[in-house]
Amino acid sequence: MENNRRRLARTVNVLILALLVLIQILLIRSWYNKTLDDIGINAMTISRVVADSVNIAEYEKLLAEKEPNDYFREMQAYFQRIQAETGVKYVYVEHRISPSQIEYIFDSEKVSLGETDELSTPAAHTHTKAFHTRAQTSTLWGTLITGYAPLVNAEGQVIGAVGTDVDIQYIYQELAKRVGQIILYTAAMVVLFGLLIYFTLSEEIRRRRVVEKNLKQSMQSVKNLLNNAGQGFLSFGSDLCIEPEYSIECQRLLGPDLDKRNFSDLIYPEDQEQRDFVNKVLLECFQENDPVRREVFLSFLPDVIFLNNYYIKIEYKFIVDKCQEEAQALMVILTDATEKRALQEQMENERKTLKMIVKAVISRNDLLELISDYQRFCQMTVPQLVICKEPLQRVIVDVKRRIHTFKGEFGQFEMMHMVRSLHHLEEEIKSFEQRDSATSTGLGMLLQNLNLEHALNEGLRILQSTLGENFIVRDKIIEIPEAKLLELEDQIATLIPSQEANILITKVRQLRYRSFKELLAAYPNTIEGLAQGLEKSLYPLELEGGEFPVDTKRYQAFTKSLIHIFANCVDHGIENREDRIKAGKEEKGRVVCEMKLVQDQILLKIADDGKGLDLEGIKQKALELGVFTAEQLAELDDKDIIPLIFEDGLSSKDSASMISGRGIGMAIVKQELEKIGGHLDIVTNPDTGTEFNFLLPMEGGAI
């Protein structure tokens, strides 16, 4: 340390000496240049005074005669007096006789009228203002600065020039004297500064030792704090490689040896596409100087990843140069969210289970009927498929429709075990359908082997554990065949006066009738759940009208199929929040359901204020399925395209979800509507949404 201090002191001394010498040189140069300027200005002033004293008429006469006269001798004496009084070396008047030669007219030293010389300064014979030139070195004349002033005649023409030469030899003599002084002054200053720096450095070194010690202690404290904070801290620059300083938690979450490794390689070791995307976003971040836009780019980066069996939450903070507002490095904070994620999933499952239990309690009879229908499908319909001789395509269409309907109905009761199971079943049937050896018998065997009641039993076990073993056992009730009730109504109408008969018939009908509105009572909650699952914002669905009684058995299958209409409204129709705002709509979407009687018919309207049907997408799907050729589609109007949504397998979505996308749901609606003799009219608009108008008969018979 001591040797280093001495070397540093010597180095500083040398630098100070060099600096002082440089300063002196600059000062001398400045003094020298200023002195030359002052001399030149003085010479120029003398020349101007002399030029003003020249009698132009006498001067021109002298030029013509070329012989010394009284005026010549008078002016020469004047020049000599100027030379003696001002200390200049030469004062003279010159006249240009050719582009390259001059002749001297007056001279303070001798008679030189008519003496010629080279024209060294042509500007002196053309300029109308006085000026001076820098020193010209000559062995004959010495080192001079010359000031020039023009002689101008009455016509404003320059006819000659007055020159005043100043010898600047004495400047160099003064300079030589100063050099010695400068050397002594510089040496003294070096010694003084050396001593000052020596003591200053000694104190500075001592102080720095203390600061370094404190800094090491602080850094160790910070490192201990970060290593025990339960989070990972790392950083990287525009090369995207991890800096050597990172906390221990980073190694636990991301693995060992992180130094100089690419950040995207660490978080996506097996996904090249994601790595390329992250690298592109990060490079954009470092190139962007606007802090607001940088934050926008950061929002595109992953905030949660699953790696090494950990759910890792990621936060990003830019380390910014406050002066230049440029991103110097990006700090990444890693948090192990595995336990929190597991707890959230557990709470979400419990929340869904609770919703399932509440809906089961509210609509117990509907749930029991759905369970019975599904059990009959598993225990009766599926075994019959093993011996079925019907064509495969007809059987598959019927099975897919029933499974898709079951999926929607169980979804209304939040029985997600069943929804996932039936979604998986749809995938299995889709794969089976593509086999060359697929048959109806093979389909039956496939369904039997899949144990279709397992997921249902899991859901029933949850209900029974909460609501008791007897919850799914039907209460003891007296069942009256519908035919007997109809016969009783006829007898009442025949045997009892009409006023009393109407009252009694209404009472009898209440045994088998419910309001039409009750058949759709589960849909407001269903719509809410669908919207939450798709992260869309909707106003609550309100059921308007429908208080009139109907035969529930007649309309039940149809109203259950409406789950596919509502699902399409939410999934296909309603836009996300950003798209709605761009389109000038309210942030929240709206689905409406209205029911009323029109003479002896039920008018049911289901509408949304979304983006309308994608008619071009429907055309494309119809072309892919072979429903129409390109030439046939070109001839169809929009009103002819809309009915294509009821074709099996036609969906405007490219992939299926647990909500929609199979292209089956609308076909199911059409099938159930035809069974009850109903009619449907669809109105769609890309700005206002889609409206489904169902017209249903109150009694049997097609419309």
DSSP labels, 37-92? HHHHHHHHHHHHHHHHH--HHHHHHHHHH-S--HHHHHHHHHHHHHHHHH--SEEE
Same domain, 386 and 269: no
SS3 state of residue 191: helix
Looking at the DSSP bridge assignments, the partners of residue 628 are: none
Q: How many domains does the chain have?
A: 4
Is residue 205, in this structure, part of any structural domain at all?
A: no
- In the chain, DSSP finds a helix count (H) and a strand count (E) of 25, 17
Same domain, 15 and 127: yes
Residue keyed to tokens 């369970």: 371
What pLDDT does 606 receive? 94
Same domain, 36 and 169: yes
Same domain, 665 and 689: yes
Residue 123 is given by DSSP the state: G
Same domain, 315 and 411: no
Give dist(CA 428, CA 656) in Å, integer: 13
Q: Which residues contact 229 (CB under 8 A, 6 or more apart)?
A: 247, 249
Give dist(CA 124, CA 135) in Å, integer: 16
Is residue 533, in this structure, part of any structural domain at all?
A: yes
- For 312, the enclosing helix (H) or strand (E) is strand 310-321
Same domain, 582 and 524: yes
SS3 state of residue 137: strand
Number of CB atoms found within 10 A of residue 417's CB: 20
| Runs of H (alpha helix) within 328-433 | 338-362, 364-376, 382-386, 392-412, 416-433
Residue 513 is given by DSSP the state: E
List, for the chain, all residue ranges whose pLDDT scores fall below the cut of 50.
476-479, 655-656, 658-659, 661, 700-703
Tell me if 549 sits within 8 A of 513, measured CB to CB: yes
One-letter amino acid at 479 equals: E
What pLDDT does 551 receive? 81
What pLDDT does 437 receive? 77
Q: Whose CA is closest to 133, among 122, 141, 472, 656?
A: 122
- What percent of the residues of the chain are helix, what percent strand, and what percent coil, each to the nearest 5? 55, 20, 25
CA angle 547, 548, 553 (to 5 degrees): 110
Residue 626 is given by DSSP the state: T
One-letter amino acid at 567 equals: A
Same domain, 318 and 421: no
Is residue 362, in this structure, part of any structural domain at all?
A: yes
Q: Which of 296, 316, 336 finishes a domain?
A: 336
Same domain, 527 and 673: yes
Q: Which of 412, 440, 472 finishes a domain?
A: 472
Q: How far is CA 361 from CA 353, 354, 413, 488, in A?
A: 12, 11, 10, 33
Tell me if 314 sits within 8 A of 301, measured CB to CB: yes
- For 214, the enclosing helix (H) or strand (E) is helix 169-227
Give dist(CA 689, CA 194) in Å, integer: 88
Tokens of 448: 């039997």
Tell me if 651 sits within 8 A of 630, measured CB to CB: no
SS3 state of residue 655: coil
Same domain, 26 and 58: yes
Give dist(CA 683, CA 679) in Å, integer: 14
Provide the strand spans (E) within 421-554.
Answer: 513-515, 543-545, 549-551
Give all strands of the β-sheet with 601-608 in edge-to-edge order.
543-545, 591-598, 601-608, 689-697, 679-685
Q: Per this entry, what is the length of the chain?
A: 703
Q: Which of 157, 173, 189 finishes a domain?
A: 173
Q: Which domain holds residue 325?
A: 229-336
Give dist(CA 692, CA 690) in Å, integer: 7
Tell me if 400 sits within 8 A of 638, measured CB to CB: no
What's the CATH code of the domain at 599? 3.30.565.10
Q: Whole-number mean pLDDT of the chain?
A: 79
Query: What pTM does this model have?
Result: 0.43
Same domain, 323 and 278: yes
What pLDDT does 604 receive? 94
Is residue 496, in this structure, part of any structural domain at all?
A: no
Same domain, 39 and 157: yes
Same domain, 465 and 387: yes
Pairing between β-strand 591-598 and β-strand 543-545 as defined by DSSP bridges: parallel
Tens digits of per-residue pLDDT, 597-614?
Answer: 988 899 999 999 998 888
What's the CATH code of the domain at 283? 3.30.450.20
Is residue 383, in this structure, part of any structural domain at all?
A: yes
Tokens of 30: 């400045």
Q: How far is CA 672 from CA 153, 405, 562, 566, in A?
A: 121, 11, 10, 16
Give dist(CA 399, CA 411) in Å, integer: 18
Is residue 486, in this structure, part of any structural domain at all?
A: no
Number of CB atoms found within 10 A of residue 228's CB: 11
Q: Whose CA is closest to 267, among 332, 344, 339, 345?
A: 332
Is residue 159, in this structure, part of any structural domain at all?
A: yes
Say what angle helices 364-376 and 338-362 make with each other, to 10 degrees: 100
Tens digits of per-residue pLDDT, 358-403?
Answer: 677 677 778 888 888 888 888 788 777 777 777 878 888 888 888 8
Phi, psi for 151 (deg, rounded to 5):
-105, 120
Residue keyed to tokens 């119809």: 622
- For 142, the enclosing helix (H) or strand (E) is strand 142-152
CA angle 229, 233, 239 (to 5 degrees): 175
Largest CA distance in the chain: 169
Is residue 625, in this structure, part of any structural domain at all?
A: no
Tell me if 377 sits within 8 A of 402, measured CB to CB: yes
